[in-house]
Amino acid sequence: MAAPSTDGADLETLARVADRVRANIERVIEGKPEVVSATLVVLLAEGHLLIEDVPGVGKTMLSKALARSIDCSVRRIQFTPDLLPSDVTGVSVFNQDTRSFEFRPGGVFANIVVGDEINRASPKTQSALLECMEERQVTVDNATYQLDSPFMVIATQNPIEMEGTYALPEAQRDRFMARVSIGYPVEAAELAMLQSHTSHTPLDELEPVTDAAELRKLTSIVGDVYVSEPVQRYAVAISAATRRSPELSLGASPRATLHLVRAAKAYAALSGRDYVLPDDVSGLAERVLAHRLLPSVEASMGGRTTEEVLGRILAGVAVPEGQRS
């Protein structure tokens, strides 16, 4: 597998840009560095991010902060129960002047799409995102429209137990590279937040620190990060183990394996390495895999969460020792 080598300068560029973005976001989201890191990983790995948490912890703030930090087109779609699929993808309307149908792009035609409260829309509307998220294109009335690169969907949702929500279908969940939960801030961070957010709105003061072109370059750097055969085997072994586990009724899909390795590459690049470690893979496994897995009835009845089951599976999968492939 001949791949162009990633040189140290590229990695330094990546680290510099990533640090700027990180600093920008942390001006808004305080005390959550690991969430910000996960967000950056998904951004660099060209994945889509699902932010799941209770209302009011900063889900929308995080997605908007990320969008603002990048000088590119940003659209926001508020998912409501009456939102129609055409509102997402776009619609063809008849133009009286030209006497022809004209395509009006929907909300997904942007570099960064913030889908707020995605699980409040009907499953039909949610599914409108399926094609664009995976294939980065929109097909309306037999015409296919390509989406710009980079393209990233940042969706927020409330936990499914909340009232008035529709659970995301499995196919939809599988298309998100990672799911993060923000969680409540620690007291000191909350205090700082009070001081900064009551006098002014930090979000409005955010300036873009990078642009789409630079982001495209960064993602190509991540793509060149080397994944050795043992690490590949390790990722496959983890996915295979989730499929075998009696505690899970749905295991990880091959796409999940793919996302896992891609995310690991981004994480390795962010760590200044041009090669992936098994630890990168195992460290990201929960964020990348957990939202795709369905616990079996027995596991649910036994009070075991998907995260616990996944933790046990990870402990049972041996790291291959083999040397270079």
Where does this chain bind another protein (CB under 8 A)? 1, 3, 5, 223, 226-233, 235-236, 254, 257-258, 261-262, 265, 274-279, 282, 317-325
Rounded least distance, CB 287 to another protein, Å: 16
Rounded least distance, CB 237 to another protein, Å: 9
Q: CA-to-CA distance for 252 and 113, rounded, in angstroms?
A: 26
Rounded least distance, CB 141 to another protein, Å: 31
Helical spans, DSSP H, in 225-316 = 229-244, 254-270, 278-289, 297-301, 306-316
Among residues 121 and 261, whose Cβ is nearest to another protein?
A: 261
Residue count of the chain? 325
Among residues 301 and 315, whose Cβ is nearest to another protein?
A: 315
Among residues 70 and 221, whose Cβ is nearest to another protein?
A: 221
Rounded least distance, CB 322 to another protein, Å: 5
Rounded least distance, CB 67 to another protein, Å: 26
Rounded least distance, CB 240 to another protein, Å: 8
Number of helices followed by number of strands (H, E) in the chain: 15, 13
Rounded least distance, CB 295 to another protein, Å: 25
Among residues 173 and 255, whose Cβ is nearest to another protein?
A: 255
Q: Residue 104 phi/psi, 5° resolution?
A: -100, 105
Among residues 181 and 253, whose Cβ is nearest to another protein?
A: 253
Per-residue tokens: 111? 């570099």
Among residues 73 and 325, whose Cβ is nearest to another protein?
A: 325
Rounded least distance, CB 125 to another protein, Å: 30
Among residues 179 and 265, whose Cβ is nearest to another protein?
A: 265
Give Cβ neighbours of residue 242 (< 8 Å, ≥ 6 apart). Answer: 248, 251, 252, 289, 293, 310, 313
Q: CA-to-CA distance for 64 and 193, rounded, in angstroms?
A: 16
- Closest by Cα among 66, 44, 248 to 156: 66
**150 preceded by a cis bond (ω within 30 of 0):** yes
Among residues 246 and 254, whose Cβ is nearest to another protein?
A: 254
Per-residue tokens: 100? 């022809």
Give Cβ neighbours of residue 102 (< 8 Å, ≥ 6 apart). Answer: 92, 93, 94, 95
Strands 49-52 and 152-157: parallel
Rounded least distance, CB 297 to another protein, Å: 30
Per-residue tokens: 44? 């660099």
Give Cβ neighbours of residue 84 (< 8 Å, ≥ 6 apart). Answer: 125
- Closest by Cα among 71, 160, 178 to 123: 160
Among residues 91 and 237, whose Cβ is nearest to another protein?
A: 237
